[in-house]
Amino acid sequence: MMKRFLYVVLAATAVNLVLTGSAEASVKAENLYSTGSIFNLVLLICSLICLIWSLKILSLVRGGLLSKSWQMFVLGFGFLLLAQLLLLMDSANLLSIPAFIATALYLLMGITWLVGLYQTRKILG
């Protein structure tokens, strides 16, 4: 069920990226040094570090009771990483995306983290 939902979201995102039109060919460096872009870059780096750490923890608990919850955490950090990457590419005019795609990725991130926390609480509680 979750795989189908993710495939539908990824397919909708891919279709939307294709239909939004081509991005400008030149990268605008002044947009990369704005406060929002720097904040997105910091979040991108933090989400990459958290994704790596959660993958290490997932490899330690593989096959255990906490494996499913850590899979949800890894998926959530992946959604956060993808959202930040898309926002940075949009601010650099490398890619033209609608604003709701990043919001949908944030929503998916929150849902997967809540599912992971719920499963962890159910196992440990």
Q: Where are the domains of the chain?
A: 31-124
Contact 43, 120 (CB under 8 A): no
Q: What is the residue type of 115?
A: V
Is residue 113 predicted with pLDDT exceeding 90?
Answer: yes
Could you report the per-residue pLDDT of 50-102, keeping only the tens digit for each?
999 999 999 999 888 999 999 999 999 999 999 999 998 888 888 888 889 99
Phi, psi at 33, each rounded to 5°: -100, 15
Neighbouring CB atoms inside 10 A of 38's CB total 11
Per-residue tokens: 27: 């990268």
pLDDT for residue 118 is more than 80: yes
Q: Which two tokens stand for residue 94?
A: 């490398």
pLDDT above 80 for 28: no
How confident is the model over 48-57, as pLDDT tens digits?
999 999 999 9
In residues, how long is the chain?
125
Which is it for the CA torsion 71, 41, 84, 119, positive or negative?
A: positive
State residue 95's pLDDT score: 81
